[in-house]
Structure 1
Amino acid sequence: MPSRPPSRCGACRKLRTAGGRCGCSRPSQRQAAATRAEWSWVYADPQWALLRDQVLSEEPLCRAQCGRPPRVVDHIRPHRGDPLLAFDRANLQAMCKPCHDAKTARETGFAGAGPKRVGAVEVTLVCGPPCSGKTSYVRERAERGDLVVDWDALAQALGSPHPHDHPRPLVPFIAEARDAVVARLERRHDVARVWIIATAPRASDRAHLAPEGARTVLLATAEDECVRRARRDDRPPGTIDAIETWWRTYRADQTAPPR
């Protein structure tokens, strides 16, 4: 009689061992993840796709009032597989991914998992136009164990074949990966210093990207110097346009009346 092939865990999707173990870290976490997997049918239902589009079109800003554009539709009361709650428009709200991830962590009880560095985390947002020296600035100052959130590094980790020229279909995934890492800072961790690298020409961009209390370093390297570096380093087509756009946006933001 042929042996039965190993099954996959519904939570972590890893193959179970002969003893029934999988890749989930703790029994309580395995149980919670498996339970959530049982509710995944909600998001495969055609009714959910229609509701999601409706909520995102009706609510242009995150309901957590962080000012970010929403990308996720959240259940105000967790539906736990109940279709009355799952498909009730009044129980839905649009949220950005960092706020949604933080809310989910609180609801599932994993917001407090692991060591915590409350008040001891030093977060620095380093921003400026392309070729302004952001990555070099961080590389010269980052130490072993520092967390570095770099758009280009994330892009390559997600499959981009070039260090600076990323396929457009990957952009939403790169953005969500970055947002997820930043949102993870709101939960317990053991990181002492964090560096976030971004262009962020507007003050509002910088406010949205940096967690509360973060230090911002603006490398406003002169436009002609950035262009010179782009040509010297043989950066991909479009880099010079991106530099000019950054400076045009930055100058307009500097002169715009306060809201």
Structure 2
Amino acid sequence: MSTQKLQRFYKSRKWFNFVECIRIERTGEDGNVICEHCGKPITKKYDCIGHHITELTDENVDDVTISLNTENIALVHFKCHNEIHKRFGYYGATVQKVYIVYGAPCSGKSSFVSEVAEADDIILDINKLWSAIKADKYNIKPNALKQNVFALRDALLDMIKVRRGRWVNAYVVGGYPLQSERERLAETLNADKLIFIDTPKEICLLRAETDEQKDFINAWFDKYTPPSE
């Protein structure tokens, strides 16, 4: 069962650094880590999750022989981690998780979420909101519809904030280049994790289909501030 005490632990720099050390230690010669659930390579750093084999609870989270024991940690894909918890019911029936997925335009944020999200999850992706209310034949975002798109976004954010509905996981997808903006949103939503899709600028530019997209990519990297250590 996820509690505030466990949330604080999983959001701590201590935990992030611990998992990163394990990831480095278990990286093979090909540069990949093997998922200990499905046996397939974990090719992206942001897709590598540290899973406690012995479930972490309020009672044992302060016991480092359990919470920070490398032998009690399995490295798994994000999607596999959700499957494990869903199968064995670690989270309990009523706990809803919120993830903020951020990165540059054309970095693969929406693709990642499409891969890991399940049928009972809710996805707030501003680009998909645009697609939902504008004519498909126009490859633009009309100023006349901005007020409507942002109103839809704010309504969905409020639903996620107050945990309205019976969804399991919520994925909030956006650029969010500024650390202050990400921290403010994470605090507002009481988010469980921020997931950085750290695709290099050169790859994003290669994926861009228009000069306008390339301008957005360059602007994002100019504004980007990394997480504070």
- Deviations 1:56-107 (Å, cap 9, x if unpaired)? xxxxxxxxxxxxxxxxxxxxxxxxxxxxxxxxxxxxxxxxxxxxxxxxxxxx
2:202 aligned with 1:206: no
Distance 1:132 1:188 in 2: 30
Map of 2:219 onto structure 1: 245
Cα distance in 1 for residues equivalent to 2:95 and 2:104: 30
Q: Compared with structure 1, are the counterparts of its residues 164 and 195 closer, same or farther at alpha carbon in structure 2 (3 Å cutoff)?
A: farther
Q: What percentage of aligned pairs have identical amino acids?
A: 28
- Alignment length, in residue pairs? 135
- What is the Cα deviation at residue 204 of structure 1? 2.0
Gaps of 5+ in 2: 1-91
- Equivalent position of 1:139 in the other structure: 114
- Deviation, 1:142, is 0.5
Secondary structure in structure 2 of the residue aligned to 1:132: coil
* Residue 194 (1) aligns with residue 176 (2): no
Bigger strand fraction: 2
Structure 2 contact 98–190 (Cα < 8 Å) conserved? no
User: 2:114 & 2:137 partners in 1: Cα distance?
Assistant: 19
Distance 1:164 1:206 in 2: 28
Runs of 4+ displaced beyond 4 Å: none
Match status 1:220 vs 2:198: yes
Separation in 1, partners of 2:178, 2:107: 16
Q: Greater RCO between the two (CA within 8 Å, min separation 6)? A: 2
Deviation at 1:175, TM superposition (A): 1.8
Counterparts in 2 of 1:164 and 1:222: CA distance versus 1, 3 Å: farther
Question: Does the 8 Å contact 1:149/1:195 carry over to 2?
Answer: yes
* Cα drift, residue 152 of structure 1: 1.1
The aligned amino acid for 1:206 is: R
Deviation at 1:221, TM superposition (A): 1.2
Q: How far off its partner does 1:168 sit?
A: 2.5
Structure 1's 163 and 180: CA in aligned 2 closer, same or farther, altered over 3 A?
farther
Give 1:165 deviation, angstroms. 3.5
* RMSD over equivalenced CA pairs, Å: 2.7
User: What is the alpha-carbon distance in structure 2 between the residues aligned to residue 163 and residue 197 of structure 1?
Assistant: 23
Q: Deviations over 1:129-183 (max 9, x none)?
A: 1110001100110011110111111112122536973122322321221111010
Calculate the TM-score normalised by the size of structure 2: 0.53
Instruction: State the TM-score, normalized to the length of structure 1.
Output: 0.47
**Paired letter, 2:185:** L
Given residue 137 of structure 1, which amino acid in structure 2 is its aligned partner?
Answer: F
Measured in 2, the distance between the counterparts of 1:135 and 1:191 equals: 19
Unaligned runs of 5+ in 1: 1-116
Residue 225 of structure 1 and its aligned partner are, at CA, apart by 0.8
Supply the AA of the counterpart residue of 1:238: E
Secondary structure in structure 2 of the residue aligned to 1:238:
helix
Q: Is the 8 A contact 2:102 2:109 kept in 1?
A: yes
